[in-house]
Amino acid sequence: MRISGASLQYQVKADAGIDLNKRTAYRVIDDLVQLKYGNFEEGYKKVASFLEEFATKNPTSFTAFEARDGKFHRAFLMNPHSGKIQPNCQQIFGTDGAHTKHKLHEGKMLILIARDGDNKNVVLAVALCPSEDRDNYNWFIECCKNGGIVFDNVPLFCGRGVALVSAATSHNDLTLIHCETYHW
């Protein structure tokens, strides 16, 4: 369902003759989205059980979940085929963080990718976390290692973000290669 606040204002004015202010229009849209897709906070509460079920059905995967004060904090999911994929890919990795902006969760998604023989990206692992900082990158890298991903002698292409560079100092097996532009 895609409708803008202005479209809703126009439709309500045309149908009911009521002037709807912009704030109310967006609240109505939020309520409609919540009715259709469910409550985001409730959805995040289901992440832990989803990861447990995923790990049960995919024993070669690795998952991790953390809650703080009873609320979602961060989650990790490794591709269940990473152990078979990595040895058959080019010996390079790439990592980056992307925004996951929503009024109920402004966080980051961290991703680790490899390149196959056809130069196609293969996702090895992803994580949702509150920010792209040293603590979260350390946690992400540790989760990757705990899942069996091997970083020894494999260049890791990344941006020049301070967080990953700082986290890399805790991991002697990481070889960072900084990119000015992204080739992934």
Cβ proximity of 87 and 152 under 8 Å:
no
- And the tokens for 92? 């390079």
| DSSP alpha helix (H) spans, the chain | 5-16, 22-37, 40-45, 47-57, 82-85, 134-146, 162-168
User: Which segments in the chain show pLDDT lower than 50?
Assistant: 184
Would you state the pLDDT for residue 118?
A: 93
- pLDDT of 40 reads 62
143 contacts 76 by C-beta, under 8 angstroms: yes
CA distance 11 to 131: 39
The structure's pTM equals 0.74
Parse the chain into domains and list their residue ranges: 5-38, 59-178
